[in-house]
Amino acid sequence: MEWISENGAGAGSLVFQLIRPLLHQRNMELVVVDPRQEFHPTGLFGNGGTFDRMLILRPHRKDVPWTYEQVLRSTAGVLAIGPLERVLPSTYRRFKLAAEHGGGIAMFLRPSKYRHEPSWADYRIQITPQPGPRQAPLTRALQMELLHVRGGRTSHQPSQVIIHDDASVVRVDSQLAHPASLDRSA
């Protein structure tokens, strides 16, 4: 799955809020790939929430594709999340094969400049910051647009997402269709 946005637009915060139930429901390990060394887990644990099993990997930038491939190949039940810059189609195909072998899920955070590049991801979602409600200072509004669903159709109708940072709550309007199942592939 690809989450397309500009750095600091809120995509990472949104993804971490959305994956928490998935990790618990499927009893998965969380692996954060952090080549820029910008990830700080303390920012995730609002209102006492935690990720029970989390591993933070900080590979050199040139080793990021190899790191994702190895993590996705693991049979430990892994959800990998982190940034992904430009990759060759053959590398993306290796991610896909590794995820099929190991059963892992990848959530790639990609800059908007890669929106129109080919992708092997089953889902591609664009996140754009929006003006938030003035009455709630710890609330952020985002526009979420489903750009691509492998084997399916997209409505191309953006949805508004509200993140309540003080309560670790995400509210999505009903316009965005919820996929019937989340495929365990990159």
* DSSP assignments along the chain, one per residue: -EEE--TTSSHHHHHHHHHHHHHHHHT-EEEEE-TTS---GGGG-GGG---SSEEEE---GGGHHHHHHHHHH-SS-EEEEEE-----HHHHHHHHHHHHHH--EEEEEE-GGGTTS----SEEEEEEEEPPPTT-TTEEEEEEEEEEETTS------EEEEEETTTTEEEE-TTSPPPS---S--
For 82-102, b/e burial (b = at least 16 CB within 10 A) is: bbbeebeeebbebbbbbbeeb
Q: Is the dihedral of CA 131, 140, 33, 122 positive or negative?
A: negative
pLDDT in tens, the chain (186 residues): 999 998 777 788 788 878 888 888 888 889 999 999 988 777 665 544 556 688 999 999 999 999 999 999 999 889 999 999 888 889 989 999 999 999 999 999 999 998 888 888 889 999 988 876 665 666 778 888 888 888 776 666 777 777 766 545 555 554 444 444 444 444
Q: Which residues pair with 182 in a beta bridge?
A: none
Burial class (CB in 10 A: 0-12, 13-18, 19+), 40: exposed
What's the predicted TM-score (pTM) here? 0.79
